Amino acid sequence: MINELTKELNNLKETAKNLAVKLGIEGIKKHLNELEAELGTQNLWKNRQLAEQKNKEAGQLRDILEFYEEIEKGLQNAEEKISQISLDNPELEKETEKDLKLISNKIKKIEIKQMMSGKYDKQSAIISIFSGAGGDDAQDWVSMLYEMYRKFCEHRGWRTKVVDESRGEYQSKTGRHPLKNITIEAKGDYAYGFLKKEIGVHRLVRISPFSPEKKRHTSFALVEVLPELPEIDESKFEIPSDDLRIEFSRAGGPGGQNVNKVETAVRIVHLPTNIAVSSRVERSQAQNRERAMKILKSKLIKLMEDTKSKELSQLRVKIKPEWGNQIRSYVLNPYKLVKDHRTNIETSQVDDVLDGNIDMFIESEI
């Protein structure tokens, strides 16, 4: 047993060493030091939006380092325990075996996160579930899927919040009307990265609790997952001065009447987008500049909102919740089986899956 534990320890050490290279641990430490030094300067906080962005980045880097340090510390502790194992101490063997399994799971978790390199993978997620073909059963299936995803998020330490729901007409045994559709927020790092592969049609086969003849019934529900994109706070929205070209000219009325002797008119060009705005109605250059900047901010915020809407529209699923489109089937009768039709991963532990244990399906897709 000691030889097996030593072998497993050495394998995990090698994996952790390779992981440090993949993660760029030394580079992360250096970049974090630079960010912390920058965050400590008053100059950065003049641009609050940029400062908060860098502060969030620093927090994510700290999380990676702390997680990796936990792995290293765990390996050191396991090595010490193995050196203390004797023939008359089987409990320490079991404890060490358990520790190595925990370390292996931690390494696996961080490796999975490394595979998530999509534009929005680090974001929180918005999950919507819609009932499809199947009548009352399909609505009940939406309620079951909602509970499955809620528990999955709970297992991962993510906060969930119902933001919208529509309920059916009939009343279930719980006294509540089942869901026609529901939308929930899943707040947590990488929530979208983990859940985006759940997009698609989910099929349920069971004896219908709504059928007097107790017939087998097939129901469908559509799951849609979108990233939660940050709202644009106009009060904190700053435009870097390097992105601007500011021009001044003399303001005047039609035909050159009442021409100012001072250059009070202001024209501002946003270089990255080539958006230009002007103001010449105010009496002073400072007032015209302030007015022009307000107009430019509004135009840029509108552009960003339009871009965000377009990107979300492209991410929305465009399939119908019906036969032939399912990504996963959940069979409760005549046998018990959950099968993912994309990866062929399957399990007979249906109750566990509906209790939120869907990691095997998500990880195989990642």
Mean pLDDT value of segment 49-58 = 86
d(CA 363, CA 366) in angstroms, rounded, equals 5
> What topology is assigned to 2-115 in CATH?
Methane Monooxygenase Hydroxylase; Chain G, domain 1 (1.20.58)
- How do residues 3-53 score in pLDDT, each as one tens digit? 888 899 999 999 999 989 988 999 999 999 999 999 998 888 877 778 888
- How do residues 260-288 score in pLDDT, each as one tens digit? 555 688 999 999 999 999 888 777 888 99
- How do residues 2-11 score in pLDDT, each as one tens digit? 888 889 999 9
Q: Decide if 351 contacts 149 (C-beta within 8 A).
A: no
pLDDT at 236: 66
- How do residues 146-158 score in pLDDT, each as one tens digit? 999 999 999 999 9
> What topology is assigned to 237-313 in CATH?
Double Stranded RNA Binding Domain (3.30.160)
- The percentage of the chain sitting over the pLDDT mark of 70, rounded to a whole number, equals 90
pLDDT band, very low/low/confident/very high, at 252 (cuts 50, 70, 90): low
Mean pLDDT value of segment 103-117 = 85
pLDDT band, very low/low/confident/very high, at 254 (cuts 50, 70, 90): very low
Nearest CA to 222 among 276, 268, 179, 159? Answer: 179
Domain 125-231+319-365 indexed as CATH 3.30.70.1660: yes
pLDDT at 235: 65
- Residue 156 phi/psi, 5-degree rounding, is -90, 0
The answer for 260, left when phi > 0, alpha when psi is -120 to 50, beta otherwise, is: beta
pLDDT band, very low/low/confident/very high, at 256 (cuts 50, 70, 90): very low
Q: Do domains 2-115 and 125-231+319-365 have the same CATH topology?
A: no
pLDDT band, very low/low/confident/very high, at 74 (cuts 50, 70, 90): very high
pLDDT band, very low/low/confident/very high, at 84 (cuts 50, 70, 90): confident
Residue found by looking up tokens 């279930």 in the block: 172
Mean pLDDT value of segment 172-178 = 60
d(CA 207, CA 236) in angstroms, rounded, equals 55
Cβ-proximal residues to 78 (8 Å cutoff; 6+ apart), any chain: 5, 9, 96, 99, 100, 103
Residue found by looking up tokens 């299936």 in the block: 141
Q: Decide if 197 contacts 121 (C-beta within 8 A).
A: no
Mean pLDDT value of segment 276-301 = 86
pLDDT at 255: 44
pLDDT at 209: 87
Mean pLDDT value of segment 295-308 = 85
Q: Residue 92: pLDDT above 80?
A: yes
Domain spans, the chain: 2-115, 125-231+319-365, 237-313
Cβ-proximal residues to 252 (8 Å cutoff; 6+ apart), any chain: 258, 259, 260
* Model-wide pTM > 0.75: no
pLDDT at 173: 54
pLDDT at 160: 95
Give me the chain's average pLDDT, please.
86
pLDDT band, very low/low/confident/very high, at 210 (cuts 50, 70, 90): confident
Q: Residue 98: pLDDT above 60?
A: yes
Q: Decide if 343 contacts 225 (C-beta within 8 A).
A: no
pLDDT band, very low/low/confident/very high, at 257 (cuts 50, 70, 90): very low
d(CA 132, CA 273) in angstroms, rounded, equals 43
pLDDT band, very low/low/confident/very high, at 233 (cuts 50, 70, 90): low
